[in-house]
Amino acid sequence: MGEEAKTASARRISAVSDGLARPKEKAGLRDIIDVSGERGGAFDDALLNCAVGERIIYHIGEHCAGAHRVAARKAYEKGLVTLSLKKRAKNRFEYIAIKIAEAV
């Protein structure tokens, strides 16, 4: 694993197990919120408690799946997030929701 990947991994927090506590801030934004291994409902909790511009990893794998796939899609359809992905390794991706608006 490269130095940059190790640093990124070290900055990730768990939204549920850390109770969405604010970690050390950088440029006014929290580090990446990783709910990929958390129970259903963790995506919605993270979305409510994060600021515009913050990123939520909702699944890691070959295909978009997991407990948070539907919640991420619904947030996208409501215009709350934009969806993205980042390649980690061959056939392994991080599926990411980036918050672009607050819920009204």
Q: Answer whether residue 54 shows pLDDT above 90.
A: yes
Q: Mean per-residue pLDDT for 43-71?
A: 94
DSSP string computed for 40-79: TTHHHHHHHHS-TT-EEEEEEESSS-STTHHHHHHHHHTT
11: three-class secondary structure by DSSP: helix
pLDDT of 42 reads 95
pTM, two decimal places: 0.71
Q: Using one digit for the tens of pLDDT, what is the confidence trace for 60-75?
A: 999 999 899 999 999 9
Number of CB atoms found within 10 A of residue 96's CB: 22
Instruction: Place 22 in a pLDDT band, splitting at 50, 70 and 90.
Output: very low
Q: Answer whether residue 89 shows pLDDT above 80.
A: yes
Helix axes 69-77, 42-49, angle to 10 degrees: 40
